[in-house]
Amino acid sequence: MDDQAILAALQRHWAASDANDFEAEHDIYRGDAVLDYPQSGERIRGRRTIQESRFVQPNKKRFTVRRIVGGGDLWVSEFVLTYDGVPSYVVSIMEFREGLVAHETQYFGERFDPAPSRAHLVEVVR
């Protein structure tokens, strides 16, 4: 699978995630895929188990992709995941094997206020 095909698959994945299309969202994963959430210490094994873990999640969620970068078998997506109106800033690292995601790690960060000490040095973007 070439880089353009993987990029298109990632775009479909995030669009399906935003639309709560749980079937299409998980087409990108191998049957034996592994998903890691380092901050909670959770590891989820298998495409169907990953899918079920997201299906049972009770919050209303929205995905806004900021950028997708990568090449070959390693791709990074940066996005805002909003649960019930509260944004989390997320980086997803996906490792592909034979055109499908074999391993994904997602890192979550909460929003914080700008530091007054550097206010004169920065521009604030939202």
Report the predicted TM-score, pTM, of the whole model to 2 decimal places: 0.90
pLDDT tens across 75-110, in order? Answer: 999 999 998 889 999 999 999 999 999 999 999 998
Residue 54, CA distances (Å) to 2, 21, 24, 123 in order: 28, 11, 13, 36
Q: Is 49 helix (H, G, I), strand (E, B) or coil?
A: helix
Give CA–CA dist 99/11, Å, rounded: 14
pLDDT class of 64 with cuts at 50, 70, 90:
very high
pLDDT score for 126: 64
Q: Which residue stretches of the chain are H helix?
A: 3-18, 22-25, 47-55
